[in-house]
Structure 1
Amino acid sequence: MDKDQHPLHAASFGAAAAAYAEHRPDYALAAVRWALEPAPGPRVLDLGAGTGKLSATLVALGCEVVAVEPDPAMRVELHRAAPDVRALAGSAETIPLEDASVDAVLSGNAMHWFDMAVAGPEIARVLAPGGVLAGLWNLLDDQVPWVAGLARVAGSAAVGPRDTPAAWRATTAGLHLPPDGHRARFGSPEQAEFPHGQRRTAGSLVATLSTRAGMIVMQDKERHAAQDRILAFLTAQPETAEGEFTLPMATGVLRTRRL
């Protein structure tokens, strides 16, 4: 994706907010626990919270959660998924919270949209000393042959550069760290992956992939052709042709601490 496309893709999700809420997976519980492990307290900011997939898990773990999400359509779905979570309009670059007001900042499938030159200092501002910054991504396990085939058939609009484990490890290794002038605010990042899965049918997996930004911004004719191609592949595989199956996944976590 070139720089001109980035804002368009980043702002695309509101158009598919209901489908995103219905079809996107949650995050592996062990991954969320690992992300929070070094946090000095229970106050957590879900940054770029989307439809509340991560917020709902954080609430279930007993965290005191506040969510920040720029898109109003996504916030509507967030209220439905996690009605007890305080959801605020804002962004990673402009966080509407006080200094040192949270013990952890977590972000589910969103950190790659942040402008870390601006967001890094802003995240450091709202984090208490010793607080945790962690990004989580759901990854397709392309060590499974049919999943690798799916990634090839779906193309980069549906399965992007952070959507498989090896690609995720390479593209996110330094993603937490703002430019050099602000790196002293954070410690060295750590990566870990945790097994995960989502129950899908061929049709609902097509719907899931259709909530990716690259698919949302396609022209209707192009998107329908991609959906037909993916569905044809899935209905030709013995693992996915009929009924429900488990999509093999992992949740990848990148975490660091505020110094």
Structure 2
Amino acid sequence: MSDARATSFGAAADHYEAARPDYPFDAVAWMLENLPHGSRRIADVGAGTGKLTRVLVAAPDGEVVAIDPDPAMLAKLRESVPGVPTFTGTAEHLPLPDSGLDAVVLGQAWHWVDPVAASAEIGRVVRSGGTLGLIWNIRDESVDWVRRLTEIMHSSPAENMVNGPGSHGPQIAAPFGGVETGRWEWKRPMNRTQLHQMASSRSYLITAPAQERAGIVRGMDELFDELGLGDAEATIDMPYATTAYRAVRA
């Protein structure tokens, strides 16, 4: 992980679990469709509270372990997705044996890693012909109110990597090659509370000074008032674009 923001999420694990979106099943299945049928040994690295883990375990032939550098996030994962083995570690230092996995996947996490070191370490634990899968849920900022929300909250490293000006997507290094990309668009209804929880689970807000956090909350409330999100039952459709990448180990 690259900086203090990368390991800040445990302080907001409850909000992360409550307000971050799950991943579309079709996108996750696409990342892994090149794997053979039968028992698939998969590690979810940077697993957080288990947003991607729960989709992986829904497949009938998956054997999944979850790895994250933050014990607080793993504790929430064990509540949310019971029965999945968890380990403390990072993409650059995996507590796993050589060539023991069919795939390693990272959801909302590759932008925090050293891509060359992480590619090499994941290549160590994945068999030849195995898969590295990367996936992000990114809000669709072509919608005006979503763009304004991001301006208030500040953009994230994930958004800059996947959709930022001049971005070419994530860097994936040896021993992986032949990177493929897929994209899925969808919407998620969210109320005012969930939107605030989503914002407070972002590394920028977690690590910002209290005065700045308060200003961001005020700015969000002004936007939500304008949008008519005035009561607990009112919702607005948050448009998302899920972008996934897959690469095969040589």
* TM-score, L = length of structure 2: 0.90
Please report how far the alpha carbon of residue 165 of structure 1 lies from its aligned counterpart in structure 2 after TM superposition: 9.5
Post-superposition, which runs of at least 4 consecutive aligned residues in structure 1 deviate over 6 A?
A: none
Aligned ranges for residues 154-193 of structure 1 at < 5 Å?
A: 154=153, 156=154, 159-163=155-159, 167=163, 170-171=166-167, 173-177=169-173, 183=174, 185-193=175-183
The letter for the 1-side match of 2:43 is: L
Q: 1:200 to 1:153 in 2, by over 3 A?
A: same
Query: Aligned residue for 1:26?
Result: 22
DSSP 3-state at the match of 1:188 = strand
Tell me, yes or no, if the aligned pair for 1:48 and 1:68 is still in contact at 8 Å: yes
DSSP 3-state at the match of 2:172 = coil
| Partner Cα distance (2:203, 2:184) in 1 | 24
Please report how far the alpha carbon of residue 134 of structure 1 lies from its aligned counterpart in structure 2 after TM superposition: 1.0
Q: 1:146 to 1:174 in 2, by over 3 A?
A: closer
Q: 1:77 to 1:215 in 2, by over 3 A?
A: same
Please report how far the alpha carbon of residue 142 of structure 1 lies from its aligned counterpart in structure 2 after TM superposition: 1.5
DSSP 3-state at the match of 1:206 = helix
Identity of aligned residues (%): 35
Please report how far the alpha carbon of residue 153 of structure 1 lies from its aligned counterpart in structure 2 after TM superposition: 3.1
Please report how far the alpha carbon of residue 45 of structure 1 lies from its aligned counterpart in structure 2 after TM superposition: 0.6
Residue 95 in 1 paired to residue 98 in 2?
no
Query: Aligned residue for 1:220?
Result: 210
Q: Higher strand share goes to which structure?
A: 2
Superposed CA offset, 1:73-115 (max 9, x none): 0010010111111111111111111111111111110111112
Q: 1:89 to 1:44 in 2, by over 3 A?
A: same
Please report how far the alpha carbon of residue 172 of structure 1 lies from its aligned counterpart in structure 2 after TM superposition: 5.5
Q: 1:165 to 1:175 in 2, by over 3 A?
A: closer
DSSP 3-state at the match of 1:112 = helix
RMSD: 2.1
DSSP 3-state at the match of 1:162 = helix
Which residues of structure 1 form unaligned runs of 5+? 178-182
Superposed CA offset, 1:161-202 (max 9, x none): 53389725954624222xxxxx2x111212221123322112
Equivalenced residues, count: 245
| Partner Cα distance (2:107, 2:224) in 1 | 27
Query: Aligned residue for 2:43?
Result: 45
Query: Aligned residue for 2:112?
Result: 113
Q: 1:247 aligns with which of 233, 238, 249?
A: 238
* TM-score, L = length of structure 1: 0.87
Please report how far the alpha carbon of residue 68 of structure 1 lies from its aligned counterpart in structure 2 after TM superposition: 0.8
